[in-house]
C-alpha cells in the first residue's frame, strides 16, 4: 500500500462549481497535512496546511483532516478558470527533518 | 515578495558527469530542502538541511548526492556521477524555523542526462 494515495484525475468542472479533492494515507504518524498547487513547469505553491485533525478555512479554500479515517480533503468553492492546476496533497510526521511525502497530484480543469 | 531562486533553469549533462544545482533560499529561512520530480511522477523528498547538517534524507539520496551551503546565501545539490534515471525536475525549498511545514519552493531546475 502506498503511503499517500491521490486520484490523478483529470477532474473537469464548470466555473463556479465546488471542487472536492482527496487523499488517503497509511502512516498514522503523519501529523502535518498540506495542500500545494502546481502550475505546469512551476514549483509547488503552498495553499493550506493543517496540524492534526480538524478543519481550516482560507477564503474559497477549506482543508479537512480526518485522522481516524486517514483521509484528507481540500474543497474549493466558486471555482475559477485560474484554479486550473495540479493539486498536491502532502504530509509529514514530526521527525525533526520534516520529510514530506507527496501524493501524485490531481489535475483540475475549471471550464469558463 | 521574497522567493526562492534556482539556477540554471535547465541543465543538460552526459551520463557520468558531475552536476551542481544551485539555489538561493529566502534570506531569513533556516531550513532547506531538495526534492525531485521525474516527469509525470510525484514530487519526492530528497533531503532536509539545517545548521550546516543534513537533518533527514530519503532512500533516493545515496552516496552520489551531496548538499552544501557554501556561503550565507547559496544551497547546492551535487550529483557526482549522473545516471539517465537522474533526469528530473529538481526543486529547492526553504522554510522558517518554526514553520517547517510552510515550505516555499523554487521554480526548479530541469536536469536532462543523456
**A110: β partners:** A13
Instruction: Give the pLDDT of residue B22.
Output: 97
Question: How far apart are alpha carbons A55 and B56 in whole angstroms?
Answer: 29
Query: Distance from B43 to chain A by nearest Cα, in Å?
Result: 6
Instruction: Give the pLDDT of residue A39.
Output: 92
pLDDT in tens, B100-109: 678 899 999 9
pLDDT confidence band for B98 (50 / 70 / 90)? low
Residues in chain A predicted with pLDDT less than 70, given as ranges, are 1
Q: Hey, are the CB atoms on A92 and B101 less than 8 Å from each other?
A: yes
pLDDT in tens, B28-38: 898 999 999 99
Question: How far apart are alpha carbons B62 and B79 in whole angstroms?
Answer: 10
Q: Hey, are the CB atoms on A42 and B107 less than 8 Å from each other?
A: yes
Cis peptide before B12 (omega within 30 of 0): no
Q: Which residues contact B89 (CB under 8 A, 6 or more apart)?
A: B36, B37, B38, B39, B108, B109, B110, B111
State whether residue A83 is helix, strand or coil. helix
Distances (CA, A) of A83 to A79, A90, A109, B114: 6, 18, 8, 36
pLDDT in tens, B47-90: 999 889 999 999 999 999 999 998 878 999 999 999 999 999 99
Q: Chain A: residue nearest B97 by CA?
A: A96
Query: Distance from B83 to chain A by nearest Cα, in Å?
Result: 22
Taking alpha carbons only, the member of A40, A49, A47, A46 closest to residue A84 is A40
Instruction: Give the pLDDT of residue B101.
Output: 75
Cis peptide before A10 (omega within 30 of 0): yes
Question: How far apart are alpha carbons A55 and A52 in whole angstroms?
Answer: 10
Amino acid at each position: 500500500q502506498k503511503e499517500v494515495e491521490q486520484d490523478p484525475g483529470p477532474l473537469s468542472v464548470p466555473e463556479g462549481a465546488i471542487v472536492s479533492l482527496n487523499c488517503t494515507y497509511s502512516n498514522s504518524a503523519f501529523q502535518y497535512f498540506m495542500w500545494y498547487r502546481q502550475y505546469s513547469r512551476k514549483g509547488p505553491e503552498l495553499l493550506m496546511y493543517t496540524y492534526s485533525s480538524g478543519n481550516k478555512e482560507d477564503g474559497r479554500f477549506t482543508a479537512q483532516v480526518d485522522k481516524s479515517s486517514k483521509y484528507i480533503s481540500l474543497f474549493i468553492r466558486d471555482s475559477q478558470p485560474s484554479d486550473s492546476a495540479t493539486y498536491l496533497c502532502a504530509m509529514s510526521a514530526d521527525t525533526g527533518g520534516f520529510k514530506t511525502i507527496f501524493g501524485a497530484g490531481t489535475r483540475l480543469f475549471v471550464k469558463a | 515578495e521574497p522567493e526562492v531562486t534556482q539556477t540554471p533553469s535547465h541543465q543538460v549533462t552526459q551520463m557520468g558527469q558531475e552536476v551542481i544545482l544551485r539555489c538561493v533560499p529566502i534570506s531569513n529561512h533556516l531550513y532547506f530542502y531538495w526534492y525531485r520530480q521525474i516527469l509525470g511522477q510525484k514530487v519526492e523528498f530528497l533531503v532536509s538541511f539545517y545548521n550546516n547538517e543534513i537533518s533527514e534524507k530519503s532512500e533516493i539520496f545515496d552516496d552520489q548526492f551531496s548538499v552544501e551551503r557554501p556561503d550565507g546565501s547559496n544551497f547546492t545539490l551535487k550529483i557526482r556521477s549522473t545516471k539517465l534515471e537522474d533526469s528530473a525536475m529538481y526543486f529547492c525549498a526553504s522554510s522558517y524555523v518554526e514553520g517547517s511545514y510552510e515550505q516555499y519552493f523554487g521554480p526548479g531546475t530541469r536536469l536532462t542526462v543523456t
